[in-house]
Amino acid sequence: MPTRVALSMLTLVPGAMGGTETYARALTQHLDPTRVQATAYVPRGAEGFSQGIHEVVVPELKAGASSAQRLATAVIGTALGARIRRLMADAQVVHFPFTAAIPPIGRGVGRVVTVHDVQHLDLPQNFPWAERLYRKVTYEAPAKAADMVITDSEFARRSIIEHLGIDPDKVRSIHLGFDASGFAPSDEPRENFLLYPARPYAHKNHKALIEAVALLRREDSDLRLVLTGEGLERLGDVPDWVDRRGLTTFDELTRLYRTARLMVFPSLYEGFGLPPLEAMASGCPVAASTVASIPEVVGDAAELFDPATPESIADGIRRALARSADLTTRGLQRAASFGGWGTCVRAHEDAYIEVAARFA
């Protein structure tokens, strides 16, 4: 008999959750019904998110992206806990792909929590006190109470164990899948710009990258920097050679990958990081940070640099441009090695079955 699993996604805000949303959607699409019988629980406004499994909408909940809205969702979801738990009564395992354990689940049912990273503990200076408090209540406490914690990388696994004191046997690293469909190299000529697709969060390190490109422009005054992602106006005034595209369509993003000289990824922190793989699958060479999970993801297929200073970033970009043909070849091989979401989702199924067996 398939293991019965409830995917509790009651904090879902479609279109506003980046890679975590891609991950949760992949679970709904690729779970094997002969191994796992899954039902997704989503808030009002997220109807139709689940593509391949049964979906239940909880109309009393309407999730929002701000800290205040997420806290309100947590409060209302907890107050509705008894009713929602009745909806999930048949489940042997409840999985929280977005970390926040809403509703709280008591003992007697397997509890699996995905914690993509603990950046708020590694880099607390990047988070206002309200966000740190929210994560303490809705991330840390559920992870400590879970029967299994799933995370995206060995780097994130080590951080979770260190900061939260969880038994290492309960924390499992499962690399995200990567769906390369839609990403492919082309014969279009590469243009004289560097690409960085990222929202302007503090750890994304935009300021240092802009300063690094300014150094490179002393040697090549035609070099430009193209930025994509929501909220880039928060960067304030930028040089006229910085092109802020904002939110882009998938087609526009893939064309940028196919025509950029280089994709630069100067992030100071990632639990996983999909953009380097997207660039590699598009034949775009990559230069990336030496920190966090990034080396684990890119392997030997990117030129790595210390993201601490504009000078070190600029040096890394120079090295990457000098070996762009080699990086393109290595990148295509690296992206292909992830092989879609199948391996990732099979590992989740194994986790569900293992946890359910403890309560048999």
Residues 200 and 255 in one domain: yes
One domain for residues 41 and 85: yes
Of 161, 112, 146, nearest in space to 349 by CA: 112
Q: What are the distances in angstroms from CA 72 to CA 66, 67, 109, 329, 340?
A: 10, 9, 25, 48, 36
- Which parts of the chain fold into alpha helices (H)? 18-30, 67-79, 81-87, 119-122, 129-135, 141-145, 154-164, 206-216, 250-259, 275-281, 294-298, 310-322, 324-337, 342-357
Question: Same structural domain for residues 223 and 155?
Answer: no
Residue 150 falls inside a structural domain:
yes
Give the separation between CA 336 and CA 184, rounded to whole angstroms. 11
pLDDT of amino acid 77: 84
Q: What is the pTM of this model?
A: 0.89
Task: Give the whole-angstrom CA distance, residue 92 versus residue 358.
Answer: 10
Alpha-carbon span 360 to 287, nearest angstrom: 49
- Reading the chain (360 residues) residue by residue, the pLDDT tens digits are 999 999 999 999 887 777 888 899 999 999 999 999 999 999 999 999 998 899 999 999 887 777 677 778 888 888 888 999 999 999 999 999 999 888 988 888 999 999 999 999 999 999 998 889 888 888 899 999 999 999 999 999 999 999 999 999 999 999 999 888 889 999 889 999 999 999 999 999 999 999 999 999 999 999 999 999 989 999 999 999 999 999 899 899 999 999 999 999 999 999 999 999 999 999 999 999 999 999 999 999 999 999 999 999 999 999 999 999 999 999 999 999 987 899 999 999 999 999 999 987
Asked whether residue 162 falls in the same domain as residue 285, the answer is no
The answer to whether residue 199 is domain-embedded is yes
- Written as six digits, the tokens of 156 are 């994130």
**Same domain, yes or no: 157 and 17:** yes
Are the C-beta atoms of 307 and 267 separated by less than 8 Å?
Answer: yes
**Residue 198 covered by a domain:** yes
Same domain flag for 61 and 126: yes
Whether residues 201 and 218 fall in one domain: yes
Which of 256, 110, 148 is CA-nearest to residue 197?
A: 256
* Assigned domain for 184 exists: no
Question: Are residues 289 and 275 part of one domain?
Answer: yes
Q: How far apart are CA 294 and CA 64, in angstroms?
A: 29
**Residue 53: domain span:** 3-177+341-357
CATH number at residue 123: 3.40.50.2000
Is there a single domain that holds both residue 81 and residue 157?
yes
Within-domain flag for 186: no
Please check whether residues 237 and 101 belong to one and the same domain. no
Judge whether 182 lies within some domain. no
Residue 185 within any structural domain of the chain:
no
> Could you tell me if residue 183 is inside a domain?
no
Tell me how far apart the alpha carbons of residues 288 and 327 are, in angstroms, rounded to a whole number: 12
Q: What total number of domains does the chain contain?
A: 2
Q: Are residues 167 and 72 in the same domain?
A: yes
C-alpha–C-alpha distance, residues 302 and 295, integer Å: 8
Query: Are 164 and 214 part of one and the same domain?
Result: no
